[in-house]
Amino acid sequence: MAQLVKAPQLPLLLHPTRLFLAGTTPVPGSSAPDWRALVWNAVVELPVTVIDPVRTDWGPDWTEDPDACEPFREQVQWELRMQTTDATHVVFYFDPHKDGMVSLLELGLSLGRDRVQTVAVCCPRGYIKRGNVIMVCRQFGIPVVDTAEQLASHKDGANSNLPYRPRDRLERLA
């Protein structure tokens, strides 16, 4: 059974297979799919720790100033630790309705790390930097899928032999 870790928790991570959910967070009321829920549902029965950085208690008065806003600094430090030290697999979703600047930084962090065993990327048509995401992923041999549903199953019809398929890959690694 999967373990879910949400920011800013620092519990004992139960499974050696650890999946970090990087990528944009849907704006409430938007038409973007709940990609995090789709990925969670795809792995919930597996022995995997899912690391989700979304905070439901995010304060509207928090500023992105690490010297003046302790909760912001705590959040970013938590995300960096979880993604760069604890995660073995990272999943990205780039929402076409957001710029996703932080997600682009996170993608670069993941591709430059030896510890990350697999990276999965969903970049729907309409995302402003889709061309850049596709080119970077091609450089590193990372397939890019178009929908959140494909990300959760990681099958794209044209290529059923993708290197990252959560169910198959995580079952083998666990």
Whether the per-residue pLDDT at 165 is higher than 70: the answer is no
- Structural domain range at position 137: 3-24+33-55+63-173
The 10s digit of each residue's pLDDT in 99-133 is: 899 999 999 888 876 667 788 999 999 999 999 99
The two structure tokens encoding residue 74: 């705590």
What is the SS3 assignment for 46-109? CCCEEEECCCCCCCCCCCCCCCCCHHHHHHHHHHHHHHHHHCCEEEEECCCCCCCHHHHHHHHH
What average pLDDT does the segment 96-100 reach? 89
Q: Sorting pLDDT into bands at 50, 70 and 90, what band is 156?
A: very low
**Please, what is the average pLDDT of the chain?**
84
Check: CB of residue 118 under 8 Å from CB of residue 169.
Answer: yes
- Which has more confidence, 50 or 154? 50
**How many domains does the structure of the chain reveal?**
1
Which tens digit of pLDDT belongs to each residue from 14-43? Answer: 999 999 999 988 777 777 788 999 999 999
pLDDT value at residue 163 = 40
Q: What gap in Å lies between CA 126 and CA 95, rounded to an integer?
A: 9
Comparing CA positions, the residue from 120, 129, 123 lying closest to residue 101 is 129
**pTM summary value:** 0.85
For the chain, first and last CA: distance in Å?
11
Q: Give Dmax over CA atoms of the chain in angstroms.
A: 49
Output the domain CATH number for residue 153. 3.40.50.450
The answer, yes or no, to whether residue 160 has pLDDT greater than 70, is no
Residue 2 binned pLDDT confidence (cut-offs 50, 70, 90): very high
